[in-house]
Each structure stands twice: as structure tokens, then as C-alpha cells.
Amino acid sequence: MTSKPIILFDGICNLCNGAVQFVIRHDPDNKFLFTSLQSGAGQQLLQQYQLPSANFTSFTLIQDNKVYTQSTAALKVAKQLKGGLRYFYYFTIVPKFMRDAVYTLIAKNRYRWFGKKDACIIPTEELKARFL
């Protein structure tokens, strides 16, 4: 589909949409592409990589034909952003089961804590090229 890293996110989750906006602001080189898990492109990628197509509890990064989920995906994205954000990648020294336990706690409560939208975000004209 593309050689650029692709971030799949829950399109109705306010926290997830905020994370996408954060990445866009800190990715001036436009390294990343985005698609919601609910979109046709998102569903196609989930199927292609044999990921669950109805359980939207994980931020997912597809890069170099490899799939990264949960805290590993978030930290790999942070590593590629501009500024001091890349240093968050050093949290990979924390065992994955501990990082993912925190991730899972937030993921399970994200709608209650941050709310959700009725529909996926619609990118502005200047951002449309970054969304699949």
C-alpha cells in the first residue's frame, strides 16, 4: 500500500484523535500516514495483518511490514518525532508486560475519561494526503 509508517487509531475516541493531532504537530517531515480502524483502509490493513477487526483497543503502527501495538507502537512513533519526544523511546527498557498493563488500563477507560465522538474525524484539506 505504502512505504510510509501507518498509524491505525480508534476514529471515535477523543484520546486517540488527540494523539493523532499530537503526532501531526510533531511530525513536520510527514513521515506518518493515518487511518481509523473503522475505515475501509483500516479494516483492509487489519485483515491483511490478521488483526482483530472489531476490537479497537490498541493503537497500531505498521512499519516495514511489521505490526506494533499498544505501548510498543506508541514508543516507536515517539522515537521518530522531532524534539525531545524521541527520548520517550527509552521507556522500552521497562518490561513490556508492565508498559502494556498501564496502556490497557488507559485503553479500557478512554471513553469514560476522554469521551468519544459519534463519527470519525474528517481531516482538513491540507491533511487529507496524510490519511488513507
pTM for this structure?
0.86
pLDDT at 81: 94
Tens digit of pLDDT for each residue in 5-40?
999 998 888 888 889 999 999 998 999 999 998 899
Between strands 33-36 and 6-9, the pairing is parallel
Three-state SS at 124:
coil
Phi, psi (degrees; rounded to nearest 5) at 131: -110, 140
Is the pLDDT at 59 greater than 90? The verdict is no
Tens digit of pLDDT for each residue in 77-94?
999 998 888 899 999 999
